[in-house]
Structure 1
Amino acid sequence: MRQALRIATVLVLAVFSAAPALAQRTDIVVGLVLEPPHLDPTSNAAAAIDEVVYANVFEGLTRFAPDGQIVPGLAESWDVSEDGLVYTFHIAQGVTFHDGSTLTAEDVVFSLDRARGEDSVNAQKFLFDDIESVEASDESTVVVTLARPNGNFPFNMAWGDAVIVAPESADTNTTNPIGTGPFRFESWRQGDSVTLVRNEDYWGEAALLDRATFRFISDPTAAFAAMMAEDVDAFPVFPAPETLIQLQSDPRFEVVVGTTEGETILAMNNRREPLNNVLVREAIAHAIDRQAVIDGAMFGYGTPIGTHFAPHHPAYVDLTELSVYDPERSRELLAEAGSEDLRLSLALPPPVYARRGGEIIAAQLRAVGIETEIVNVEWAQWLEQVFGNGDFDLTVISHTEPLDIEIYGREDYYFGYGAPEFQEIWDELNRTADPEARNALLGDLQRNISENFVNAYIFQLAKAGVERVELEGLWVNAPTQATDLTKVHWVQ
């Protein structure tokens, strides 16, 4: 009997030792709320583009690290002249585009000149405003001369709008993006997903994933169902915050809560009557109970703000008291402006913060005598109608670009502010290098837009996401609008 047991045990051990180990996954399915209008980050403001291609497909001279620091990208290093006017970028060697062509300094010259040119369609042309000239001193060195000092220049070059593209493929990047990143574009199923595959010829540290599929799921119920069915492995910004408690209790998942650069605002068209009256804008701001919006739309995920600036930034000024919830004050201001019984349209794009938050805001405005006609618009329609043509009264939107208060200095920006006094402060900021002095000027900019009630500032968008517990490497915080997969991998 003992001998038989010993033989059986040996046979069992032999079977298990001969069985192959479970293969570690090398693919991922990521859920995103919005489908990008196209895939070229240098010709559209939609954050959904960067969420797919930033650092994955396209790279810039510099880039954002997960903690928000600016680190080398295609430029291994750079030097700055003593007067702060000349930046010399040293380009990494052996870099190739996905079509096999070699990256040279001339491609950098082309990209920056294209972005700042008169016919440029770059949504963030201000990033390049201070450039006087761009020259290639040799095949791997680019010299950028500024018209005035700008200590933020390496920061500007880290934006998705400043990625480096090749002249041969620049015009077709919208549908067939060709960059230098660790992933190549494979396919786009319109209305469903974009798939990337590992770039086997990547010049830097290779990606750990072979394949990445971005699935576009804007409906909160569908997003929850996709996670529970394991059709999606991660949803970095989950559109159904009310279900996060349930997902957190499921041993398959981990809920990850961090910060973003997303200022969620009720944007007002400052060009249109009666919103061109500061009294009306102030009345609207006082009608909004920020915490009620955060609790009702985001189930408590979000930080109240009183200006267009991230609370985690050292220059942030808490100005929430300027527009504190005060319905009685709101009614008084409307009477003073002669705008009782006001009727306005409210355009709401698909994200949950907009659709759910907009319903709550509409009820709060109704309580002070402002009726709103809610118009639910798809993302492409919002970009064209609201952002592009400025055809709106009110809209709820989250601006996720980093340190983007500069937009208030643009006269042609969709909410139409561009006050000269704001522009003067911004110009002084660009001339200032001292960190403390810069923070003080950033505070002045925040006060300017808050005291003029340009928009109603509601909350800083939290990065509340969910992912499989075996996943590692996704960003906790979001220093820019990206789903950086360069370090993502599965663990057993």
Structure 2
Amino acid sequence: MQKSTFWKKAITAATLLSVLLAGCSGAGSSSPGDPTANTDTDKVQPAAQQEITVAVSGDVGLDRLDAGAYDGSMNVHAMIYDGLVQYGEKGQIEPALAESWEISEDGKTYTFHLRQGVKFSDGSDFNAEAVKFSFERWIHDPSNSLTVATAMQSLEIVDDHTVQMTFDRAYYPLLTELTFARPVRIISPNAVEPAGDSQGTFVKPIGTGAWMADSYKTDQEAVLVRNPNYWGDAPKLSKITLKVIPDPQSRVLALQSGEVDLAGGQMSRLPLESLPVIENEASLERLRSPGTSSHFLVYNGSNPDLQDVNVRKAINLAIDKSSIVNDLMGGIGSEAKGLFPSTVPYVTESNSKGYGYDPEAARSRLAESGYTDTDGDGLVEKNGTPLKLSLVLQQVDFPEWKPMAELIQAELQNVGISVELQVLEPNAYYDALWTTKAYDMIVYRTYDDAYNPHSFLSSLFHRTGDTAAVAWSDAELEQLIDTALASTEEKKRQGTYDQIFARMDGQAMFASLYYPDDLFVFNKRLRGVEAGYTTFEPILWNRLEVME
């Protein structure tokens, strides 16, 4: 597809208007100090100068950012397109393009009342027809595994500002799925050719979000400008340039030189070894945000030694989680307890206590099951066979896993368990995890934010058809997961999740390692730097502003 005149750099009348509009509101900042107090020498720049550059690790795919497809940057999807609902703190479902909704008593019918007076960035009207058009672009795609797609029986237009969706089952995460960055967000019927054809060819991104596309250079940069038709509080910035910088160390240099104003999170990871450099840079500030994922060990349940719950508990007790966080991660994160951190819905202090660090208790657990060091070589044996396990990992996507695995190796050796490390290339690593099961233990991580806990538990700890669960098979756990997913009452659902986490913890179905924080670094000329609630909306962009 040839690029249309949309991608030309010439500033359109709409762009001129968006540059001239001053931001009108915004909440406080998470940055250090008092971010809301401006002094005589700390003033907001004029609207025309409210521009920043943000580092991204790869091409954002602005020319293929179809709201109904799994292509392009999720971060930019979420900036240009709105959903019917949005994901708030700890999974709270908040209104977006739908001001309110009702769910039938049986949990199968959802009626959404749409926000009125909303327009797309091209000035066309948002209404129920646009919702139907958007959903029909992906709802019948057989490759789409979202329950909102596979379970939907009908989508009816009640009137211009009301739509009703009927599903074949009760499934409480339906609303959560509707918060995803893609493919559930709403796109203008004018974004395809021929216009209004749900099977039409995508031409350009046109959404109702706070930002709209301005220009794009593949593998170099994408420029977004303020949407003059945005229905919510107008962004304070007039322009955001997303600059592609693939190398992590180069991102640090770009921050130091002022080439970029902000980097970090999953959109542009920063190397932990560069933290001392960043801390000593007078022009830079850090923002740490508690993440929603965790890193942990998956056990291979087919290993006879690991079928013994005392062995699994001993491994948990032998690992010093505080050393992982403080000695290896530079304090960027927190000690893991349960499978998920407290930022995840339904996780509480009482249902995710974890095991702590107690090598003596670990040795006692092993001895209780007959694993003792009979020959004084430092390794425990049972029936004359030493307890030896393999630990599989990869370090291309997660370089911190190698030193972490080496620490685990030493700590398990300390309680008498021999561990052989196997570092694999990503393809071989994922093949081992999902297909061959060629490991005794493997380092893995949970999903993020809107996918936790329901989606991750379903994917890793629940069988699919006749195929056993990936991480750990347990019939009682699977029944509890099914009950939670079908629950229509919040209180009962919380009680079921309490049972789920208690079952997983009591049976030591995994070994928690650490909860990573998201780390952002920004130029001190920015104010209103506040972390978002999802990895695809890592920063509350609309609250950012530039100071003189």
Normalised by the size of structure 1, how large is the TM-score? 0.76
In structure 1, distance between residues paired with 2:53 and 2:304: 47
- Of the three residues 355, 360, 367, the one matched with 1:321 is 355
1:258 aligns with 2:285: no
| 1:78 partner amino acid | W
In structure 2, distance between residues paired with 1:389 and 1:121: 21
Deviations 1:184-206 (A, max 9, x none): 34566565554433334444444
SS at match of 2:394: strand
SS at match of 2:154: strand
Aligned equivalent of 1:134: 155
Give the deviation of 1:302 after TM superposition.
1.6
| CA 202–354 in structure 1, closer or farther in 2 if over 3 Å, else same | farther
| CA 188–255 in structure 1, closer or farther in 2 if over 3 Å, else same | same
1:51 aligns with 2:75: yes
Aligned equivalent of 2:447: 399
In structure 1, distance between residues paired with 2:393 and 2:475: 28
Aligned equivalent of 1:225: 253
1:234 aligns with 2:250: no
CA contact (8 A) 1:386 1:414 kept: no
| CA 150–344 in structure 1, closer or farther in 2 if over 3 Å, else same | closer
Aligned equivalent of 2:142: 119
1:438-449 alignment, distance < 5 Å: 438-449=493-504
Aligned equivalent of 2:97: 74
- Of the three residues 350, 371, 374, the one matched with 2:397 is 350
- Of the three residues 517, 520, 529, the one matched with 1:462 is 517
Deviations 1:77-100 (A, max 9, x none): 223445554321122345455577
In structure 2, distance between residues paired with 1:300 and 1:165: 41
In structure 1, distance between residues paired with 2:55 and 2:106: 46
Q: Percent identity?
A: 22
| CA 293–131 in structure 1, closer or farther in 2 if over 3 Å, else same | same
1:27 aligns with 2:27: no
In structure 2, distance between residues paired with 1:491 and 1:58: 28
Aligned equivalent of 1:288: 319
Give the deviation of 1:459 after TM superposition.
1.9
In structure 2, distance between residues paired with 1:173 and 1:359: 51
| 1:306 partner amino acid | K
CA contact (8 A) 1:409 1:422 kept: no
SS at match of 1:478: strand
SS at match of 2:531: coil
- Of the three residues 305, 308, 311, the one matched with 2:342 is 311
| CA 66–234 in structure 1, closer or farther in 2 if over 3 Å, else same | farther
| CA 388–186 in structure 1, closer or farther in 2 if over 3 Å, else same | farther
Identify which range, 169-178 or 291-300, moves more after superposition: 169-178
| CA 172–132 in structure 1, closer or farther in 2 if over 3 Å, else same | closer
| 2:186 partner amino acid | I
In structure 2, distance between residues paired with 1:22 and 1:248: 26
Give the deviation of 1:119 after TM superposition.
0.5
Give the deviation of 1:65 after TM superposition.
3.9
- Of the three residues 407, 421, 424, the one matched with 1:375 is 424
Give the deviation of 1:475 after TM superposition.
2.7
CA contact (8 A) 2:283 2:523 kept: yes
In structure 1, distance between residues paired with 2:51 and 2:113: 34
Give the deviation of 1:282 after TM superposition.
5.3
In structure 1, distance between residues paired with 2:147 and 2:231: 30
| 2:352 partner amino acid | D
| 2:458 partner amino acid | G
1:199 aligns with 2:222: no
In structure 2, distance between residues paired with 1:384 and 1:58: 32
Deviations 1:64-120 (A, max 9, x none): 246754322111222344555432112234545557765442443455566654703
- RMSD, matched Cα: 4.3
| CA 51–445 in structure 1, closer or farther in 2 if over 3 Å, else same | farther
- Of the three residues 33, 49, 63, the one matched with 2:86 is 63
1:425 aligns with 2:480: yes
- Of the three residues 172, 180, 186, the one matched with 1:164 is 186
1:260-279 alignment, distance < 5 Å: 260-267=291-298, 277=307
In structure 1, distance between residues paired with 2:162 and 2:342: 38
| 2:542 partner amino acid | T
Identify which range, 258-267 or 106-115, moves more after superposition: 106-115
Give the deviation of 1:299 after TM superposition.
0.9
Give the deviation of 1:142 after TM superposition.
0.7
Deviations 1:458-487 (A, max 9, x none): 222223322222323333353454234233
In structure 1, distance between residues paired with 2:297 and 2:315: 9
Deviations 1:196-217 (A, max 9, x none): 3333444444433333233455
SS at match of 1:320: coil
Structure 1 unmatched ranges of 5 or more: 1-20
CA contact (8 A) 1:278 1:452 kept: no
CA contact (8 A) 2:91 2:449 kept: no
Deviations 1:337-383 (A, max 9, x none): 96744344322342454455455445556663121121354xxx599
| 1:467 partner amino acid | F
| 2:83 partner amino acid | G
In structure 1, distance between residues paired with 2:393 and 2:413: 12
Identify which range, 32-41 or 149-158, moves more after superposition: 32-41
Aligned equivalent of 2:528: 473
Deviations 1:102-160 (A, max 9, x none): 544244345556665470335xx245566443222223211123445555543442222
| 1:456 partner amino acid | A
| 2:448 partner amino acid | T
In structure 1, distance between residues paired with 2:141 and 2:474: 23
Structure 2 unmatched ranges of 5 or more: 1-43, 193-197, 373-379
Deviations 1:420-440 (A, max 9, x none): 433322332244454443322
SS at match of 1:311: coil
Give the deviation of 1:456 after TM superposition.
2.6
| CA 77–360 in structure 1, closer or farther in 2 if over 3 Å, else same | same
| CA 175–35 in structure 1, closer or farther in 2 if over 3 Å, else same | farther
